[in-house]
Amino acid sequence: MTSVTCQITISLDGYVAGPNQSLEEPLGRGGERLHEWAIATDAWNEHHGRRAGERTVDSEVIEEVVANVGAYIMGRKMFGGGEGPWDESWTGWWGEDPPYHTPVFVLTHHAREPLTMQGGTTFHFVTDGIESALAQARAAAGDKDVSIAGGASAAQQYLSAGLLDELYLHIAPIVLGGGERLLENVGDPTLEPVKVVASPAVTHVKYRVVH
């Protein structure tokens, strides 16, 4: 059985996006600071097809978290394009070659034909709920893992439904003071820290969700 994982960066005060999210600032005010640690790594650059940056333990974490992913699931808001029926000119935030390179299942209330991008990423739009999306993602992933890409709401739904096996938090040493919180409406999951990686930029803590 493959694992259902989620790896996400949170601020020290528990936010995965800052306040006042908008089309111009999808991560909200200050939210881009969450990802400075990742932008600084060459693994990230490589994965995004850019030139190599600094090599750190953070690079290894990024390599690790993408290594065994066979499919992603993400919320509609993370895919973007606003609410309501689709504007089909919207193909995500990531340009022609999104950094997923696998099938990606987008949770939405509005049907849309699959969208094939460059580099192996195909977005599938799932309108019949998180369990259906997971079943489709598992089938697509084969013997690899399914990763919940985000945002907070998608992660919350899988965690509170008992469908998440592993939560890998990258705890950024910043205080956003408001925004979208990761760990609310998730009930009282039993979590076990199974791995910690420390860097000067961020603290990575992998939790096993005990079922």
| Spatial distance between the Cα atoms of 101 and 87, rounded to a whole number of angstroms | 23
Assign 21 to helix, strand or coil.
coil
Binding site for a copy of itself (CB under 8 A): 12-14, 30, 169, 171, 173-175, 177, 181-184, 186-189, 191-193, 195-196, 198-203, 205, 207
Residue 42 CB, shortest distance to a copy of itself, in Å, is 21
Antiparallel, parallel or unpaired: β 103-107 and 166-172: unpaired
Is the CB of residue 28 less than 8 Å from the CB of residue 181? no
Residue 161 CB, shortest distance to a copy of itself, in Å, is 15
CA-derived radius of gyration, the chain: 16
Is the CB of residue 145 less than 8 Å from the CB of residue 121? no
Residue 12 CB, shortest distance to a copy of itself, in Å, is 6
Judged by beta carbon, residue 99 or residue 173, the one nearer a copy of itself is 173
Judged by beta carbon, residue 107 or residue 172, the one nearer a copy of itself is 172
Residue 165 CB, shortest distance to a copy of itself, in Å, is 15
| Spatial distance between the Cα atoms of 131 and 35, rounded to a whole number of angstroms | 29
Instruction: Find tokens 């919320």 and name the residue.
Output: 75
Nearest to 69 by CA among 156, 135, 129, 4: 4
Judged by beta carbon, residue 80 or residue 189, the one nearer a copy of itself is 189
Judged by beta carbon, residue 54 or residue 184, the one nearer a copy of itself is 184
Residue 18 CB, shortest distance to a copy of itself, in Å, is 11
In the DSSP assignment, the letter for residue 29 is: T
197 DSSP β-pair partners: 204
Judged by beta carbon, residue 13 or residue 54, the one nearer a copy of itself is 13
Judged by beta carbon, residue 139 or residue 175, the one nearer a copy of itself is 175
Residue 168 CB, shortest distance to a copy of itself, in Å, is 13
H or E stretch at 36: helix 36-39
| Spatial distance between the Cα atoms of 167 and 101, rounded to a whole number of angstroms | 21
